[in-house]
């Protein structure tokens, strides 16, 4: 069995690594790789093997099945227990041709008939002897004591294969978490030359982690720069040593998933009964379609694909140096084969091979890396001098009384910096720790690493509403606008003997604009950033005034005539409205008063009608209980006259209410029209 050596490892940030292995083979042979059972899905879906020689080729790739040991053993007739394995085997292969070696060197051939058990008495106890009954080739049936049998050779090839399969399966089952892949290589006639075999695949792996050291002296602080040293933590969790490999570290977000590829999937198929046809009969044959008039959907998509591919870009930003081959490519194969040769070789084994890279950047480690199996290592990935400045950053929502001590760093290198922890050393002492975020080239970020307790900051906030300064009208509403001012005072005291640069982050408030400020700020998504210089042993106040326009609304129809005229008088006095608008509002006030008068009259008539209705009910009830005497008759006549008078008045009220209702409706339309015209120029 030849050996494959790891040549290149590309570790990604999404929990997957890409491995390239190389092996040298003379003649036909095999390569064997072992994986955990949970890794088989990734390996099988990505495995690629290439024989770079002229005539050599890969005949097949075999691997251990995913079935349980008990399921695999169902396919053979043997089932050998842990105890009495020999006698159990002999019993199961009854009738098989065998050759026995008995005693010294005596060989006997024949067919196994079975086993007999014979009980004998010894001096101490009763014992049971096992005897193998053999039908010999010469026709004799002979019994041989198990204790005399030195060896047994099975002559039947099928039984030998089953026995070997049983033993291989059982031993493989003992190692439950490991599965083997065997790559079978054929020489194609080139048996005397060494051939390079390249194997690549992906498997799940720990992500690579980055840590930094930011080292700054006092002189560097004056020059506003520091030394950035970056290290990556790499873990070799495989069962192979990495000896002088090429290591690449790739960050980005390529699509990745686990596909259930290894375990067999069985589909429940329908059971179809065979048709029962007594005799043939005439059938109506459909007219054929002209298929040229239809295009297959897959063909349309295939025709559109080249156009779409031309519009797509593939960008790889290298963080150290141009890679020997793209991430995931077979760079080692290209060193011994031209592009054309490799293309022809791959094309001869597979019809189609595609690869699509997303937005990635890559660290290629220049020096060979060695990491033993199941071990980890810190690998240096960069050493650069970058721009850095010590500043203080205050945010009232972060620390109420003290600012953060920060480094403002700029990535002026040719590298893309991956996110990771940083240890900050200033003047040969630990200053603190920080997190460096993801940094593209030219990006600037603040790293807070400590609290500056020698600078004390307090803040006060006040707000006030100013008088109305504008009025508008729309859809029957009046809108009175006024300003709300918010005043913030920061009191800052520098108790140190050094001049400090302070970045003061003032929170943005919705719709507020800064109208008074000592210096112009920079803007972040959520803050206004003011840059302030603090002199040694100095105390200052920093005042900001912000303003927002608010409004209150009122429905004009809800005003009385007097209230509306008061508002109009106020608007005129403040010169919020012109004469035309004043006249319109006064007219609306009069119309509202007229409308209120009509509604009051309507309510009064309605109330009178309701009283009359109750009175009529009482009179009718009284009339119904009166007798036929002269006094009752006189009282009836008086009630009837009163009812008649009320009926006349009832008709008058009905007529007046109808007229009032029409006037109110017309007046409502007039007022609504006049109010809607207020918002028109």
Q: Give 604-627 pLDDT, tens digit per residue.
A: 999 988 888 888 888 887 777 777
Q: Is residue 413 part of a domain?
A: no
Rounded CA gap, 364 and 253, in Å? 18
> Of 108 and 120, which is predicted with more confidence?
108
Residue 66 lies in a domain: yes
Residue 114 placed within a domain: yes
Residues 202 and 332 reside in one and the same domain: yes
174 shares its domain with 191: yes
- In-domain check, residue 420: no
Same domain, 65 and 140: no
Q: Are residues 489 and 547 in the same domain?
A: yes
Q: Is residue 389 part of a domain?
A: no
Kindly state the tokens that stand for 129. 């002897």
Question: Looking at the 3D structure of the chain, how many domains does it have?
Answer: 4
Say if residue 186 is in the same domain as residue 74: yes
77 and 188 fall within a common domain: yes
Q: What is the CA radius of gyration of the chain?
A: 49
Check whether 275 has a pLDDT greater than 70: no
Q: Are 7 and 114 within one domain?
A: no
Does one domain contain both 124 and 3?
no
Query: What separation in angstroms does the CA of 264 have from each of 8, 65, 324, 659?
Result: 31, 8, 38, 90
* Most confident listed range (106-110, 257-261, 338-342): 106-110
Residue 125: domain span = 94-155
> Is 103 within the bounds of a domain?
yes
Q: What does the pLDDT look like over 471-482, one tens digit per residue?
A: 998 888 999 999
> Per residue in 613-666, pLDDT tens?
888 888 887 777 777 777 888 887 887 888 888 888 888 888 989 999 999 999
What is the predicted pLDDT for the residue at 500? 93
Q: CA-CA distance, 183 to 566, in Å (whole number)? A: 98
Let me know whether 143 and 247 are in one domain: no
Statement to judge: residues 49 and 131 lie in one domain? no
| Last residue of one domain, picked from the residues 305, 340, 371 | 371
**In the β-sheet with 513-516, what is the strand arrangement from edge to edge?**
455-474, 477-494, 539-555, 513-516
Together in a domain, 485 and 533: yes
Domain boundary among 328, 353, 371: 371
Examine residue 233 and state whether it is found in any structural domain, yes or no.
Answer: no
Out of 155, 172, 188, a domain closes at 155
Pick the range with the lowest mean pLDDT from 3-7, 347-351, 478-482: 347-351
Average pLDDT over residues 480-508: 94
Other Cβ atoms closer than 10 A to 357? 15
The rounded distance, in Å, linking the Cα atoms of 134 and 521 is 104
Is the dihedral angle over the CA atoms 116, 120, 126, 131 positive or is it negative?
negative
CATH of the domain at 122: 2.30.30.720
Q: Per-residue pLDDT for 87 more than 90? A: no
Same domain, yes or no: 327 and 351: yes
Is this prediction's pTM over 0.95?
no
| Nearest-angstrom CA–CA distance, 459 and 504 | 12
Q: Is residue 150 part of a domain?
A: yes
């Amino acid at each position: 069995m030849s050996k494959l050596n790891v040549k290149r490892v590309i570790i990604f940030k999404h929990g997957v690594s890409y491995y390239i292995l190389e092996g040298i083979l003379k003649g036909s042979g095999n390569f064997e790789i072992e994986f955990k059972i949970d890794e088989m899905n990734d390996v099988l879906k990505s495995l690629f093997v290439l024989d770079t020689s002229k005539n050599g080729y890969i005949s097949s790739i075999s691997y251990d099945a995913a079935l349980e040991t008990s399921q695999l053993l169902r396919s053979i007739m043997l089932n050998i227990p842990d105890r009495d394995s020999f006698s159990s085997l002999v019993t199961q292969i009854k009738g098989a041709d065998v050759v026995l070696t008995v005693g010294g060197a005596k060989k006997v051939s024949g067919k196994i008939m079975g086993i007999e058990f014979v009980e004998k008495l010894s001096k101490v106890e009763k014992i049971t002897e096992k005897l193998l009954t053999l039908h010999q080739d010469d026709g004799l049936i002979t019994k041989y004591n198990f204790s005399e049998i030195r060896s047994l050779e099975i002559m039947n090839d099928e039984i030998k294969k089953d026995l070997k399969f049983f033993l291989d399966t059982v031993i493989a089952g003992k190692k439950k978490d490991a599965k083997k892949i065997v790559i079978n290589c054929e020489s194609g006639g080139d048996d005397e030359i060494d051939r390079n075999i390249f194997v690549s695949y992906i498997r799940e792996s720990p992500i690579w982690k980055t840590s930094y050291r930011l080292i700054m002296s006092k002189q560097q602080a004056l020059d506003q720069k520091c030394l950035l040293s970056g290290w990556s933590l790499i873990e070799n969790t495989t069962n192979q040593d990495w000896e002088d490999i090429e290591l690449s570290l790739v960050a980005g977000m390529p699509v990745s998933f686990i596909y259930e590829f290894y375990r067999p999937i069985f589909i429940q198929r329908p059971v179809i009964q065979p048709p029962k046809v007594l005799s043939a009969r005439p059938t109506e044959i459909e007219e054929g379609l002209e298929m040229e008039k239809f295009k297959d959907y897959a063909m349309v998509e295939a025709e559109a694909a080249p156009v779409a591919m031309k519009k797509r870009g593939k960008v790889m930003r290298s963080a150290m140096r141009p890679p020997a081959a793209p991430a995931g490519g077979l760079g080692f194969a290209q060193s011994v084969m031209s592009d054309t040769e490799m293309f022809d070789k791959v094309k001869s084994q597979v019809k189609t091979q595609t690869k699509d890279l997303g937005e990635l950047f890559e660290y290629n480690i220049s020096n060979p890396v060695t990491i033993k199996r199941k071990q980890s290592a810190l690998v240096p990935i960069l050493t650069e001098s970058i721009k850095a400045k010590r500043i203080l950053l205050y945010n009232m929502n972060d620390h109420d009384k003290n600012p953060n001590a920060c480094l403002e760093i700029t990535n002026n290198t040719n590298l893309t910096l991956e996110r990771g922890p940083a240890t900050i050393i200033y003047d040969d002492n630990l200053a603190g720790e920080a997190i460096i975020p993801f940094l593209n080239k030219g990006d600037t970020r603040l790293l807070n690493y400590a609290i500056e307790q020698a600078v004390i900051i307090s803040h006060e906030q006040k707000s006030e509403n100013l008088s109305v300064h504008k009025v508008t009208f729309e859809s029957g509403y009046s809108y009175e606008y006024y300003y709300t001012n918010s005043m913030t005072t920061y009191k800052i005291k520098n108790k140190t003997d050094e001049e400090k640069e302070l970045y003061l982050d003032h929170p943005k408030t919705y719709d507020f604009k800064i109208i008074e400020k000592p210096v112009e700020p920079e803007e972040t998504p959520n803050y206004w950033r003011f840059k302030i210089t603090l002199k040694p042993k100095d105390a200052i106040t920093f005042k900001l005034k912000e303003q927002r326009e608010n409004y209150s609304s009122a429905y004009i129809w809800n005003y009385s005539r007097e209230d509306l005229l008061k508002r109009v008088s106020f608007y005129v006095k403040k010169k919020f409205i012109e004469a035309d608008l004043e006249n319109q509002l006064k007219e609306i006030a009069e119309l509202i008063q007229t409308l209120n008068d009509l509604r009051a009259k309507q309510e009064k008539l309605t109330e009178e009608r309701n009283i009359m209705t109750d009175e009529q009910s009482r009179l009718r009830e009284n009339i119904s209980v009166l007798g036929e005497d002269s006094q009752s008759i006189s009282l009836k006549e008086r009630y009837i006259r009163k009812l008649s008078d009320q009926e006349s008045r009832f008709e008058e009220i009905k007529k007046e209410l109808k007229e009032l209702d029409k006037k109110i409706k017309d007046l409502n339309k007039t007022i609504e029209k006049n109010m809607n015209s207020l918002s028109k120029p």
